[in-house]
Chains A and B, each alone.
Chain A
């Protein structure tokens, strides 16, 4: 997330200099600021949230106490948090890959819907749904991943072929996916026995032994170190970094930036598609018109707060999921507008963006 440098490095001051310059992106600045800025942004947002609740006549400290109790103080609090965090982690990991390469897609929501739809359509199709879940679910997951990748790859193709900005095209495709969802549950994959528009049920993902957390959380947990290794140790990870730092360098050295951009977008879409079907098979069990809940946008906050690092994403997703779960509980006790937690989450990202720019400016 460094500022775009209009001058790609031309005369290297020694190869190490160039590499260091390329690779300290995107989290330039001190190690302290790396963690301190997101933490302070969280704190600031919680303070403002507290003031808002105080204006509403709710004692902020007891409300936050209830939020904490909602997560840690009951048996289901932590497992609920893990379940809510699962799609956020997967979506934000995909966004991480894209944003590290400075490919700013905001189409995660649409890719998530497209993946979930395709996976559900596959798993509920007439001849297939008789298959045992152990065979059907992995196949449906693959279908969802491929659909997400294709939905996202489309924006990469539109950019390389027509020069259309990924930011805009990915967003427009979200609306197309939303329309597809509306049609599919009303007509396309509708459960004929259901009174309201919804798909047939999908065989559920098993819970992790001894918990009420579905298997998808394990996928998300496993994806974190896997992606960290891929980004750090592989040729693809290196290309992502170089594309983000300077597409020109990539172009003169080894590969076409457009091809890397397409791959990056496909990977982001694959994660989103996976997240979508995992959510169906693990949580909702059916597709309904209410399936689109804006996770694809919250995940952007998660990825940025996590400093576009897989481990950071994991932490940020758990924190935001904990806030959501905790506030759900707190709303049972206090009269808090349901949009409060959304405001706090959005304030975190606004404070973070401002704080990040300020700390970068001080660092020079």
Chain B
């Protein structure tokens, strides 16, 4: 085990935690406003593809920007369906993620011949990526705890009727939170491919959006804890990659499952004392909801 906790493992942990952390921060924003976005995994996938395409055209920074934009576009579609039309949030999010898996695969197959390895892109180093995570963390934390906008957003998720009575448009607040949250989700996807990975492959996010969703519950909807949870996930993932290479008595598949098992256990520890936004996943209808 002494080979496990080296600086290299720690660096890998941070690298693996970065996209999950940004996606989880976005989802914290969205869920605090009362919208449960199960389309996060799909948003990350679209962001990853946009990031890859952007980076091919104009370098990794353009890639990140493209991911942000693609995420915001996904957020607009999701907000339209979940907030404006008031489709069931769980079903909509699921459908969107299923769609994203097929659509990104299709778009990717369209642009690159199968069999040929897709070209690698110039990748960003860890320093700017970590800086982005910290900036997003501070931004989300500041917005939620130090601004009126954050208070209104939280009210839309906890007592939408009261927010409405005070003259705030709940649907607008929730739509905005969904668009911004998804923009961060798209950025997270772009950070995944424009980071050390430098590649897009089919289903590149491999469930990281779902892990981010789980982390939001684990973090009890607090931004700081969400980032800490992402680091924990990154550590498990790094340990898995590290141990796959070394011959151990334990089959490496155990470590494949480990990040997900740890997230499960974390949910068992954390979920009970819940700070769930009271109106999470409940659409707001004026005059009918409290």
Which residues of chain A have a CB within 8 Å of any CB of chain B? Answer: 1, 3-4, 6, 52, 56, 104, 106, 158, 161-165, 167-169, 171-173, 175-176, 178-180, 182-183, 186-187, 297, 300-301, 304, 337-340, 342-343, 345-347, 349-350, 352-354, 356-358, 361
B102, A176: Cβ atoms closer than 8 Å: no
A354, B106: Cβ atoms closer than 8 Å: no
A162-B271, A343-B106 known; A353-B91 Cβ under 8 A: yes
Give, as a whole number of angstroms, the nearest-CB distance from A360 to chain B.
Answer: 8
Give, as a whole number of angstroms, the nearest-CB distance from A309 to chain B.
Answer: 16
Which chain B residues border A6 with CB–CB below 8 Å?
A: 279, 282, 289-290
What are 15 A-B residue pairs whose CB atoms fall within 8 Å in the complex?
A: A4-B283, A6-B279, A6-B289, A163-B274, A164-B271, A172-B210, A172-B264, A179-B254, A183-B251, A338-B109, A339-B105, A343-B99, A349-B99, A353-B92, A358-B85
Q: Is B162 an interface residue (CB 8 A)?
A: no
A186, B253: Cβ atoms closer than 8 Å: yes
Q: Which of B90, B260, B261, B263 has the most CB of A within 10 A?
A: B260
Which chain A residues border B87 with CB–CB below 8 Å?
A: 353-354, 356-357
Please measure, in the bound complex, the distance between the C-alpha atom of A221 and the C-alpha atom of B284, giving whole angstroms: 41
Give, as a whole number of angstroms, the nearest-CB distance from A330 to chain B.
Answer: 15
Nearest A-chain residue to B213, judged by Cβ? A168
Please measure, in the bound complex, the distance between the C-alpha atom of A106 and the C-alpha atom of B93, giving whole angstroms: 12
Nearest B-chain residue to A188, judged by Cβ? B251
A3-B283, A4-B282, A340-B106 known; A354-B210 Cβ under 8 A: no
Please measure, in the bound complex, the distance between the C-alpha atom of A37 and the C-alpha atom of B110, giving whole angstroms: 30
Nearest B-chain residue to A158, judged by Cβ? B268
Please measure, in the bound complex, the distance between the C-alpha atom of A175 and the C-alpha atom of B205, giving whole angstroms: 13
Q: Is B281 an interface residue (CB 8 A)?
A: yes
Chain A binding surface SS class: helix
Q: Is B124 an interface residue (CB 8 A)?
A: no
Give, as a whole number of angstroms, the nearest-CB distance from B6 to chain A.
Answer: 24
Q: Is B38 an interface residue (CB 8 A)?
A: yes
Please measure, in the bound complex, the distance between the C-alpha atom of A346 and the C-alpha atom of B267, giving whole angstroms: 30
Which chain A residues border B90 with CB–CB below 8 Å?
A: 104, 167
Contact with A along B78-95 (1 / 0, CB 8 A): 000100011110111011
Which chain B residues border A343 with CB–CB below 8 Å?
A: 99, 102-103, 106
Give, as a whole number of angstroms, the nearest-CB distance from A113 to chain B.
Answer: 12
Please measure, in the bound complex, the distance between the C-alpha atom of A45 and the C-alpha atom of B103, giving whole angstroms: 13
Please measure, in the bound complex, the distance between the C-alpha atom of A293 and the C-alpha atom of B101, giving whole angstroms: 13
Give, as a whole number of angstroms, the nearest-CB distance from A339 to chain B.
Answer: 4
B264, A346: Cβ atoms closer than 8 Å: no
A-B interface, 6 closest residue pairs, ranked by CB to CB distance from nearest: A357-B87, A342-B102, A179-B257, A183-B253, A339-B106, A346-B99
Q: Is B183 an interface residue (CB 8 A)?
A: no
Cross-interface CB contact of B95 among A187, A349, A361, cutoff 8 Å: A349
A164-B217, A357-B88 known; A346-B210 Cβ under 8 A: no
Give, as a whole number of angstroms, the nearest-CB distance from B275 to chain A.
Answer: 12
A164, B260: Cβ atoms closer than 8 Å: no
Cross-interface CB contact of B264 among A173, A182, A300, cutoff 8 Å: A173
Which chain A residues border B274 with CB–CB below 8 Å?
A: 163
B268, A162: Cβ atoms closer than 8 Å: yes
B268, A300: Cβ atoms closer than 8 Å: no
B95, A350: Cβ atoms closer than 8 Å: yes
Which chain B residues border A353 with CB–CB below 8 Å?
A: 81, 87-88, 91-92, 95
Please measure, in the bound complex, the distance between the C-alpha atom of A52 and the C-alpha atom of B283, giving whole angstroms: 34
Please measure, in the bound complex, the distance between the C-alpha atom of A142 and the C-alpha atom of B205, giving whole angstroms: 36
B251, A347: Cβ atoms closer than 8 Å: no
Contact with A along B42-70 (1 / 0, CB 8 A): 00000000000000000000000000000
User: A172-B210, A346-B98, A361-B86 are known contacts; what are 17 more A-B pairs with Cβ within 8 Å?
Assistant: A6-B290, A161-B268, A165-B271, A169-B267, A173-B260, A175-B260, A176-B261, A179-B257, A180-B253, A186-B253, A342-B105, A346-B99, A346-B101, A346-B102, A349-B98, A353-B92, A354-B81
Please measure, in the bound complex, the distance between the C-alpha atom of A59 and the C-alpha atom of B196, giving whole angstroms: 41
B102, A179: Cβ atoms closer than 8 Å: no
A175, B257: Cβ atoms closer than 8 Å: yes
Cross-interface CB contact of A168 among B98, B217, B253, cutoff 8 Å: B217
Please measure, in the bound complex, the distance between the C-alpha atom of A179 and the C-alpha atom of B252, giving whole angstroms: 9
A300, B257: Cβ atoms closer than 8 Å: no
Nearest A-chain residue to B281, judged by Cβ? A4
A179-B256, A346-B98 known; A164-B106 Cβ under 8 A: no
Give, as a whole number of angstroms, the nearest-CB distance from B28 to chain A.
Answer: 15
Cross-interface CB contact of A163 among B86, B271, B290, cutoff 8 Å: B271
Give, as a whole number of angstroms, the nearest-CB distance from B175 to chain A.
Answer: 15
Please measure, in the bound complex, the distance between the C-alpha atom of A3 and the C-alpha atom of B284, giving whole angstroms: 10
Which chain A residues border B110 with CB–CB below 8 Å?
A: 56, 337
A158, B267: Cβ atoms closer than 8 Å: yes
B260, A168: Cβ atoms closer than 8 Å: no
Give, as a whole number of angstroms, the nearest-CB distance from A25 to chain B.
Answer: 12
Q: Is B136 an interface residue (CB 8 A)?
A: no
Which chain A residues border B257 with CB–CB below 8 Å?
A: 175-176, 179-180
Give, as a whole number of angstroms, the nearest-CB distance from A292 to chain B.
Answer: 12
Please measure, in the bound complex, the distance between the C-alpha atom of A162 and the C-alpha atom of B260, giving whole angstroms: 17
Q: Is B207 an interface residue (CB 8 A)?
A: yes
Q: Is B96 an interface residue (CB 8 A)?
A: yes
A357, B102: Cβ atoms closer than 8 Å: no
B106, A337: Cβ atoms closer than 8 Å: yes
Nearest B-chain residue to A176, judged by Cβ? B257
A162-B268, A339-B109, A350-B99 known; A3-B217 Cβ under 8 A: no
